[in-house]
Amino acid sequence: GRDARAVEESPLPHLPAARRPSAETLAMPLKTRVTELLQIEHPIVQGGMHHVGYASLAAAVSNAGGLGTVTALTQRTPELLRAEIRKCASLCPGKPFAVNFTLLPSLAPPDYGAYARVIVEEKVPVVETAGRNPGQWIAYFKKHGVTVVHKCVAIKHALTAERLGADCISVDGFECAGHPGEDDVGALVLLAKAAERLTVPYIASGGIGNGRQLAACLALGADGVNMGTRFMATKEAPIKDGIKDALVRGDEKSTTLVMQSVGNTERVYRNAVAEEVKAIEKRTPGKIEAIRHLVSGENYRRSFQETGDPNTSVWSAGIVMGLIDDVPTCAELIERMVADAEAIIAKRLPSVVVRSRL
């Protein structure tokens, strides 16, 4: 990343003036199976994120032609989720948005049934499911006419979700923030294999932040992209500027992996607290109670919502930091990505095909 202050002069600061897309170029949408399925203008989805995925961000993404996502379990009760859904609907009237519904391993799980009922009752058009054993929830949402996008980190799980009725798969590579699984397979292989094995459309997730990557993901067979960390570094993201500044300053080496010893690997921002977690895991591997006080969600909620200090908690971030140089609006980011992808697809790629003279 670079200094965020240097990027305020232009909505497309990464490009020289001569290469910045014109207003006509910005309006050109990319049509894929995912834009048709989700009824969105651009094949760009904002993934669910704890203590980030509130109505304000989701609505900004949806208003910009993508698909914004409200995170269900960030809301402490189902009725608070209902209020957040209604707020999102009021902020992006007539635009689709999603709710993330993640099944977390827990000794005291939340009332998933009550959260699911709220999603259905509020007529949310799309749900992003994630986590283990999603079968009953995919069936429930499908029964009530909700489009299901299931996020997974392995082709085996993607095939299972497809068999269970998921309409679309979000294929999450090892580069992603949060939980990349335990297989350590990068997106380049995962996405190419998904194209060979899946029948339903899929979106690429993990490490994505610019139009060049959008074009690459479409070439690999994906019908769109899902982004989390990149949307954290936008003006509408409801987190403190200190976190956004850390994402701009950071690079592709600014993450680390924690909780590997307990089989719940998480990619997080590299700081002293994350290093302490790793040191404890090395001394007492497999003991979640030894690190629980350091990896608590309440710690990073305070960082995101109160202090803005990136160094006092363990928080999810992806290696896409290496491509984050500014804090644009969601509309600027999406328009720039689509314009850059279109330029590569329409201009650069055709130029490398040499036609036979026969």
Angle between the 187-197 and 155-164 helix axes, to the nearest 10 degrees?
Answer: 40
Contact yes or no for 165/138 (Cβ under 8 A):
yes
CA 248 to each of CA 210, 227, 232, 233, 271: distance values in angstroms, whole numbers, following the listed order: 14, 16, 10, 8, 15
Question: CB neighbours of 192 closer than 8 A, spacing ≥ 6?
Answer: 220, 221
Contact yes or no for 69/99 (Cβ under 8 A):
yes
Overall average pLDDT of the 4-12 stretch: 40
Give me the residue label for tokens 């509020």: 122
Question: What would the two tokens of residue 329 be?
Answer: 């609006």
Per residue in 130-151, pLDDT (tens digit) is 998 899 999 999 999 999 999 9
- Distance CA(264)–CA(166), nearest Å, equals 24
Give me the residue label for tokens 């592709």: 252
Give me the residue label for tokens 């910009």: 64
Contact yes or no for 38/96 (Cβ under 8 A):
yes
pLDDT for residue 28: 66
pLDDT for residue 352: 93
Per residue in 70-124, pLDDT (tens digit) is 999 999 999 999 999 999 999 999 999 999 999 987 768 899 999 999 999 999 9
Question: CB neighbours of 110 closer than 8 A, spacing ≥ 6?
Answer: 73
For residue 129, what are the β-bridge partners?
A: 101, 150
- Distance CA(130)–CA(159), nearest Å, equals 14
Neighbouring CB atoms inside 10 A of 132's CB total 9
Per residue in 305-329, pLDDT (tens digit) is 999 999 999 999 999 999 999 999 9
Q: What is the DSSP string of 14-28?
A: TS-GGGSPPHHHHT-
- State which amino acid sits at residue 99: V
Nearest to 151 by CA among 103, 118, 189: 103
Neighbouring CB atoms inside 10 A of 252's CB total 14
pLDDT for residue 12: 42
Would the pLDDT of 19 be above 70?
A: no
Nearest to 327 by CA among 252, 230, 251: 230
